[in-house]
Chains A and B, each alone.
Chain A
Amino acid sequence: MTGDWDLAEECAQDAFTKALERWPRDGVPSNPAGWLKTTARNRALDQLRRAAVGAAKLQEVAMTRFVDADAESVDRSDRGDGTITDDRLRLMFTCCHPALPVDAQVALTLRTLAGLTTNEIARAFLVPTETMAKRLVRAKRKIHDAAIPYRVPPAHQLPERTAAVLAVLYALFNEGYSASAGADLVRTGLCAEAIRLARLLVQLMPDEPEASGLLALMVLHDARRRARVDAAGDLVLMEDQDRELWDKAAIDEACGLLEAAMGRDRFGPFQLQAAIVACHASAPTAADTDWHHIVVLYERLSELVPTPVVALNRAVAIAMADGPQSGLELVDQIDAGGALAGYHLLAATRADLLRRLGRNADAIDAYQRAYRLAPTDAERRYLTRRLEELSATP
């Protein structure tokens, strides 16, 4: 029996919105889960009545998964709490089901869990509202027609499906993070939404160290947001950033989260990436950065995620720890591998290492190659500045 996903989604969202309005004003009810369920169900019934559909339709909605789940949760809520969380977690797993296209997963998550309007999501992803509306409709249709389950996956699927949820949240964050400070606020607001959802996930899955790892990673990136671009909107490299602009409280919070997560001794890619950023973020000056530790972390990361991009980052860390020549040799190996042909950061990294080795002519060539491949204006401006500096040096 498949449910009326649309209705369930709208009503659940509505109940949460109402809770946000009312609870701060009227106080949290004694049984918050029950309150939400009742509100959502009443809302569902309201909507159906308003649509003037008859008893048959009411019968139908009573059969939906949402109301099935509802009966179950109300029973359980008598015994205690945890049911609000259950529903939002189920929504997350349904929205991030791997049978849905990734762009639809991200959009559905924003629509159902963050409550963004279709129009806002369309703006955030720079597509026409109509395109986004279609994407959402198709995804919901597939949830309904193919019977994508509305539940937290069983234990044997949980690691893989959790990874899918984490990937969606990180994609959401990166979408916002890559938008420059001057860009549409909805776009930059995606970072805050991603962090908010990750906090929720950590609360819902306290035993999942990768959820904490992802939250820590996003908080650490976000803590440096103000220092990342200058007044002109240009990128500022980590080593040149004004560390006074970093949000110390956020960095401390992330480091605490990460420490607790890594204490579980189940390392994953997000924990390791967060640990690397934490190394940078906790160094008082760029010169104090513990590059040897970063190299170790990249080594562990490349065992878990053996991709050329991780290898490139490892090469940069080695260059910082052991000198540009060792880094350049690794970068040249990666270049020869061909998997990153056309990746501007490979060219930019080579250029940087060559410059530090004093091989200016080679560096200029590499910077020019990076310039041709760079995807954003800010990156092109940065590369132009480097080229000008080099051309000015005899």
Chain B
Amino acid sequence: MFDPQWLPTIMIFLPLLGSLLILITPGRWRDEVAGFMAAVTLGLGLMIWYAGGSGLLSLNWIPALGITYSVELSGVSLALAMVTAFMSFIAILYAARRIPNPGTMLALILAMETGLLGIFAARDLILFYVFFEDALLPSLLMLAIYGKAHRMRALVKFAAYTLFGSLLMLISIIGVRYLGGSPTFALVDLKQHLVTGPAQTWLYLGFLTAMAVKLPLWPLHAWLPDFHEQNHDSGIPDVMGTLYKVGGYGLFTFAIPLFPDASLELRPILMGLAAFTALYSAWIAFGQKDWKRLLAYAGLSHMGFVALGVFSLNETAVIGAMYLLAFQNLYTGALFLSVGMVQERIGSLDTRVGGLMTGAGALGGMTMALWFASIAVPGMAGFIGEFSVLLGAYQVSPWLAFVAGLTVIAAAAYALTAFQTTFWQSRPLGGVVVRDLVHTEWLILGLPLAVAIFFGVYSAPALNLMQPAVKSVLAAVGGN
């Protein structure tokens, strides 16, 4: 069989190829081409999984600067890449149905998928940086082309936050190599040449800022609600935006191995910040009246949990954080799409419509199930993540785990309130009777839900991927 080393490279660049192909494909075949490319990418992911990870492929890219092309998909990164491929596929399914003349959107989704897969596969800091920025462009374009009235404001804010963070990251990436004296930017080399002392802390802070923007973590989160609110009503760009919240992954793969002492040193502060983010945003979500903003804050709250898990450096918590990071994409993304379907039917994103469920029982039922997944009801994938994070964090800091735990209550409050006022209660007099799910809409909501339930009940496949990876990363830190 084919050497699995090369599979990640193919998997990364296949969507980009598809995105270019779409530009030259006649209009009536674009949906099929995009769907096919996304499906093949997902298939490649399955092949890598079947082969038990790809192994590291390392080539010189710019030898003069010590930049290598090192990619690997295994463990946590493989799980995240598969979820990314899966949700991109779902987004393409929905875009083909929902957006008139969807060529541009399909191309952007595929282009973004390349960037995201690259982020997960990169094992060289500069390569990581390149893909990190590469994924930004399609998401900015989606906002610029398909966004709503105030999109430019949201766009500038999003770009400014991200680029500011990226600049600090680039500086610390360069610092890590030159202060540590590593021959290349490849992760394996950098791990051999760690920076020590206060310099490590400063470099960590630089790296952390970029990741905190992308997590996002309070107080660098302000771009997120506007970004989601101003994006296209269908929620497709929001799915991709959710996938782009890779801060937790970056911290796990690069920050913990490269800045072990600083991670330990700053642990209490960062855990506090993460727990605060989780509770703070859940509470704000409770007061939102726009579905997109509500989901943005709900997602932010999940990210608070992810950050809490990663920062705690406790094995169980880190596994939980990665589990949550991977699978929250499924239900948060699907919720954005279900909200898009609601908007398609009633032309509004307000959370106080009422009575939708009388007409659209299946849409309401699926949305409710997705909400239950989102608020980490056991039996769904989110629970394994959140429970492990909280349990692990409790071992490190009981009080912070308690603060984050309060989110569990707030989450029930915001989720059920919004659901109730939109889907339950009675239909306002003269309100339209909404159509229930049709055609592919069943798959678009059903598939993510089914996967979320499957991995909530039977976690072994994902756990077998993540557990060894987390163990080996945490071995570098030594402590608990």
Q: Do A and B bind each other?
A: no
Q: Interface of B with A (CB < 8 Å)? A: none
Q: Interface of A with B (CB < 8 Å)? A: none
